[in-house]
Amino acid sequence: MRNDRLFGVGVALVTPFKEDGAVDYAALQKLLEHIIAGGVNYIVVSGTTGEPSTMTATEKSELRSFIIKQVAGRVPLVLGIGGNNTAAVIDEIRSTDLNGFDSILSITPYYTKPNQRGIYAHFAEIAKASPLPVILYNVPGRTSRNIEPATIISLANDFHNIVAVKEASGNMSQIMSIIENKPDDFMVISGDDALTVPMMSVGVCGVISVVANVAPAETVRMVNAAANGDFKEASRLHYKLLDLMGALFEDGSPAGAKAALKMIGITQSETLRLPLVPVCDKTRDNIKAALDKAIK
């Protein structure tokens, strides 16, 4: 995947389920057409928003095949492959048919809390094993471990196929340090919808977005305005979407996105797989109000 294809809006794709928990392929088809029509630049399949940790290997394979066929090359596809067992991640990379995908998104090892040397070694092995470019995913709120700027810069310098980081630390000082010291062709991508415009003002190239499942066209307009240097317009659109960005995460993700997708008629069900559960009534009311503001 050429680095310039990571500019703009990537969507952290939701996996719709039927009431019985099976993948709802009719709803998934409708969701894919919705986000592509909204002008998104690429789609992330089986990221954490897609609930891959609850899916079997067969389900994930069928999901990949369906998405590749439905998208039909209209936008690039990124595949989430990560975990806290380095050998298992490498085995998954080597055993997965990666045809149709442009790059891999790989999360920081979670729960085991490796130090920076361990994080470096983990991603070094992934880079050696991957036939595709690798995007690091730094989300310490979920993993309990931050990839420090020096580690990101070392990985970017040492492995030509580590091409970007999805930064969801929420730490603007850290993000600016990465941007200041990174190789010229290494991309920094927002992993936090609510911080995308501020992050783009200091050099971030776009966002891998949850809200773009629901409001793709509005998210694309916001990011394009920022990319074009029109921060007055980007700010206006940011505040139009801000309540929705917050409401989607009030009761956990992707529960909020699934509630919103049902409200706008993309899906028929809010079903998640345990241990995730649908949003509470108060959050559902907040999402509805935020949608009314964001999508007019």
Please give the positions annotated as active site. 137, 166
CA distance 184 to 101: 24
Backbone angles phi, psi at 162, to 5 degrees: -90, 105
Q: How crowded is residue 91: how many other Cβ atoms within 10 Å of its Cβ?
A: 12
Instruction: Output the CA angle 211-215-221, nearest 5 degrees.
Output: 100
Contact predicate 13/31, CB 8 Å: yes
Element (H, E) at 172: helix 172-181
| Stretch (H or E) spanning 116 | helix 116-129
Confirm if 64 and 45 have CB atoms less than 8 A apart: yes
The dihedral built from the CA positions of residue 13, 18, 22 and 23, taken in this order, carries a sign that is: negative
Query: What burial class does residue 66 get, using C-beta atoms within 10 Å of its C-beta: 0-12 exposed, 13-18 middle, 19+ buried?
Result: middle
Q: Please tell me the distance from the alpha carbon of residue 93 to that of residue 125, in angstroms, as a whole number.
A: 11
